[in-house]
């Protein structure tokens, strides 16, 4: 493997201060910046381009399964939000309220949407009348507001961007199938498009979404061993339907309540990309969502024919890969550091000697491995190298997760691991909230999920010693 010396001095080293490293990467790579409103971020063009690629990939997956996009109101009347008790209680501390329109006080406060279950339900009550109207498979791309006390760009902001799917089904079986299907979509997207391995499972009742009967989750491990909830899918049963009086005439000609799901992934996934793949030189972007997959850097650009050849390559390659030509008067060394920091997967160097030999040098961002490539073979070699970068990133992240996942068999052991070994902890649990709270309060870890692939590590709970019911992933999380 090539020398991994530090090229970008403007970024704090991970080992020195991981939080500062993260903030440096977000700002120096020009993904986002702080705005004049606390907790709200400006997503800069490079970050927006990354989000657009994520959005387009997910949107195509949703539409292939029959989902349609819709746009719902930003404001929710307080009376509407109050109609589902558990839901409103879960979101009450995070809600932002509009109390005035112009200079006049509103007769009823308006909530700035923290999520849109209630407005979808109000709409569904108007349009669902018969089993023939089902299923309703809707998705919305929008921003939402949650009044967070502590914020960090992408990971936790007061306003953030996401998609939220909201579906209604004739039967509980169909809704359960939808809940599982969409979680699998998220897991496949993370692994196949973002090169991020995830653990799929169900949240405990304490950690499930407010108003849901069940929440499924994908959990990813970051470079520092902390977990990041990366996407969730919720089964609501008919609770919202009853609260909003959504009924339809069934096949037996009797009134029934539909069964509901919702599912979402947000710009927090950009934080996952940064903290899973990044290094001390900045971003390392997975090729399938990178705004620029290949950057062409002319060497000795002042010499005759170099810029012409680089421009010719750019025109040739732009139908094969997302390519950028940097013809600025900055030095090649500056450009190398700049695109290293921005995480561009491949750098293509072309100079006078390369042109003489009908070749170029291609450098991988993840390993800095250099490959001499014939100019005649670029359309074949570059996509293969991008796939190799993706596979390398995935395997590296998977190996890190496996090396930082530990099994605990009793309370003393789980506390020792949590105190001294960053990562995920697998341990058995009796199912009691009291034990879950003790692990949070005394050990400083939370339940991440009950994985679908269960193993019986022990017969008893790691906390209380009573008979265990589930194997759980525990850990510290963002």
Asked whether the bond before 135 is cis by omega within 30 degrees of 0, the reply is: yes
Residues 369 and 444 in one domain: no
Nearest to 348 by CA among 359, 337, 357: 359
C-alpha to C-alpha distance for 344 and 339, rounded to whole angstroms:
6
- Nearest-angstrom CA–CA distance, 29 and 278: 11
Percentage of the chain with pLDDT > 90? 94
DSSP structure string for 385-414: HHHHHHHHHHHHHHHHHHHTEEE--SHHHH
Q: What is the mean pLDDT of residues 266-280?
A: 98
Residue 183 — pLDDT band, cuts 50, 70, 90?
very high
Read off φ and ψ for residue 111, nearest 5 degrees: -85, 135
Same structural domain for residues 261 and 307?
Answer: no
Number of domains in the chain: 3
Supply φ then ψ for residue 291, to 5 degrees: -55, -40
Q: Which of 386, 421, 453 is the last residue of a domain?
A: 386
Residue 164: closest CA among 152, 146, 147, 149 = 146
Region 100-118 average pLDDT: 95
**Chain segment 128-182, per-residue pLDDT in tens:** 999 999 999 999 999 999 999 899 999 999 999 999 999 999 999 999 999 999 9
Whole-angstrom distance, CA of residue 365 vs CA of residue 367: 6
Phi, psi for 19 (deg, rounded to 5): -65, -45
Task: From 46, 42, 211, select the one nearest 117 (Cα to Cα).
Answer: 211
Q: What is the pTM of this model?
A: 0.95
Predicted local confidence at residue 81, as pLDDT: 86
Which CATH number covers residue 439?
3.30.110.30
224 exposed, middle or buried (CB, 10 Å; 0-12, 13-18, 19+)? Answer: middle
Cα of first residue to Cα of last residue in the chain, in angstroms, is: 32
pLDDT score, position 7: 60
Structure tokens at 381: 């070699």
299 and 442: one domain?
Answer: no
Q: What is the DSSP string of 154-166?
A: TTB-SEEEEEEEE
Residues 108 and 204 in one domain: yes
Whether the pLDDT of residue 3 is over 50: the answer is: no
- CATH number where 178 lies: 3.30.930.10
DSSP SS3 for 9: coil
CA angle, 279 as apex, 277 and 283 as ends, to 5°? 65
Tell me which residue of 388, 333, 334, 284 sits closest to 50, measured CA to CA: 284
Task: Pinpoint the alpha helices (H) of 65-139.
Answer: 78-81, 85-91, 117-127
Judge contact between 100 and 75, C-beta under 8 A: no
Q: Is 263 left (phi over 0), alpha (psi -120 to 50) or beta?
A: beta
Is the predicted pLDDT of residue 1 greater than 80, yes or no?
no
d(CA 223, CA 238) in angstroms, rounded, equals 40
With both helix axes pointing from N to C terminus, report the angle between 172-192 and 45-64 in degrees, rounded to the nearest 10. 140
Domain residues for the domain of 310 are 294-386
Model confidence at 8, in pLDDT bands (50, 70, 90)?
low
Rounded distance between C-alpha atoms, residue 294 and residue 72, angstroms = 38
What's the token pair of residue 442? Answer: 């005394």
Cβ–Cβ under 8 Å, residues 473 and 425? yes
What is the structure's pLDDT at 86?
A: 73
**When comparing pLDDT for 88 and 303, which is higher?**
303
87 pLDDT higher than 80 = no
For residue 247, cis peptide bond before it (omega within 30 degrees of 0):
no
Q: What angle do CA 275, 280, 283 make, to 5 degrees?
A: 50
The stretch 103-117 carries a mean pLDDT of 95
> CA angle, corner 381, sides to 375 and 386, nearest 5?
130
Query: Residues 428-456: what's their mean pLDDT?
Result: 97
In a domain, 460, yes or no: yes
Q: Kindly state the tokens that stand for 418.
A: 């949590």
List, in sequence order, every beta strand (DSSP E) within 203-288.
Answer: 214-221, 227-237, 248-249, 255-256, 259-266
Confirm whether 288 is domain-assigned: no
Residue 222 pLDDT level (bands cut at 50, 70, 90) = very high
Q: Is the domain of 200 the same as that of 264?
A: yes
- Does 92 have pLDDT greater than 90? no
The rounded distance, in Å, linking the Cα atoms of 174 and 177 is: 5
**How many CA atoms lie less than 13 Å away from 470 in the CB half-sphere?**
20
Question: Does residue 318 share a domain with residue 219?
Answer: no
Both tokens of 163, joined, read 């998609």
Same domain, 237 and 323: no
User: Is residue 395 domain-resident?
Assistant: no
Cβ-contact 189, 56 below 8 angstroms: no
The gap from C-alpha 188 to its chain's centroid, in whole angstroms, comes to: 12
pLDDT of residue 358: 98
370 and 460 assigned to the same domain: no
pLDDT value at position 2?
A: 42
Given 353, 386, 419, the domain boundary residue is 386
- Quick one: 133 and 159 in the same domain? yes
Q: Do residue 91 and residue 216 come from a single domain?
A: yes
CB atoms within 10 A of CB 150: 7
> Each residue of 300-323: pLDDT tens digit?
999 999 999 999 999 999 999 999
d(CA 258, CA 256): 7
Q: Please give the pLDDT value at position 82.
A: 86
- Confidence grade of residue 10 (pLDDT, cut at 50, 70, 90): confident
């Amino acid at each position: 493997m090539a020398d991994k010396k530090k090229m970008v001095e403007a970024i704090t080293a991970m080992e020195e201060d991981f939080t500062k490293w993260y903030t440096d990467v977000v700002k120096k790579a020009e993904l986002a910046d702080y705005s004049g409103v606390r907790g709200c971020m400006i997503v800069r063009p490079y970050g927006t381009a990354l989000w657009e690629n994520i959005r387009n990939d997910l949107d195509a997956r949703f539409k292939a399964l029959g989902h349609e996009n819709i746009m719902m109101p930003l404001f929710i009347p307080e009376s509407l939000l109050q109609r589902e008790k558990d839901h409103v209680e879960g979101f009450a501390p995070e809600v932002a309220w509009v109390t005035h329109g112009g200079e006049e006080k509103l007769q009823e406060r308006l909530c700035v949407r923290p999520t849109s279950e209630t407005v979808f339900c109000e709409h569904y009550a108007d349009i669902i009348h018969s089993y023939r109207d089902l299923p309703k498979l809707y998705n919305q791309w929008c921003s939402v507001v949650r009044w967070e006390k502590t914020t960090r760009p992408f990971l936790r902001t007061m306003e953030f961007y996401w998609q939220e799917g909201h579906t209604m089904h004739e039967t509980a079986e169909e809704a359960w199938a939808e809940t599982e299907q969409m979680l699998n979509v998220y897991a496949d997207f993370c692994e196949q498009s973002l090169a991020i391995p995830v653990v799929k499972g169900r949240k405990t009742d304490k950690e499930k979404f407010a108003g849901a009967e069940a929440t499924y989750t994908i959990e990813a491990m970051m470079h520092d061993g902390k977990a990041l909830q990366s996407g969730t899918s919720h089964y609501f049963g008919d609770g919202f339907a009853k609260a909003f009086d959504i009924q339809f005439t069934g096949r037996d000609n009797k009134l029934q309540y539909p069964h509901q799901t919702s599912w979402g992934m947000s710009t927090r996934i950009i934080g996952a990309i940064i903290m899973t793949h990044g290094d001390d030189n900045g971003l390392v972007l997975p090729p399938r969502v990178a705004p620029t997959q290949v950057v062409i850097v002319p060497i000795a650009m002042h010499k005759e024919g170099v810029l012409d050849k680089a421009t010719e390559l750019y025109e040739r390659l732009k139908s094969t890969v997302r390519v950028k030509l940097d013809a600025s008067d900055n030095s090649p060394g500056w450009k190398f550091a700049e695109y290293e920091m921005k995480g561009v997967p491949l750098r293509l160097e072309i100079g006078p000697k390369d042109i003489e030999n009908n070749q170029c040098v291609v450098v991988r961002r993840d390993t800095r491995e250099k490959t001499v490539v014939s100019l005649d073979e670029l359309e074949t070699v570059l996509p293969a190298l991008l796939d190799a970068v993706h596979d390398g990133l995935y395997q590296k992240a998977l190996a890190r997760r496996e090396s930082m996942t530990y099994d605990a068999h009793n309370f003393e052991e789980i506390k020792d691991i949590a105190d001294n070994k960053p990562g995920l902890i697998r341990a058995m649990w009796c199912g009691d909230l009291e034990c879950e709270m003790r692990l949070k309060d005394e050990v400083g870890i939370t339940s991440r999920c009950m994985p679908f692939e269960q193993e019986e590590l022990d017969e008893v709970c790691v906390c209380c010693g009573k008979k265990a019911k589930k194997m759980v992933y525990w850990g510290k999380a963002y």
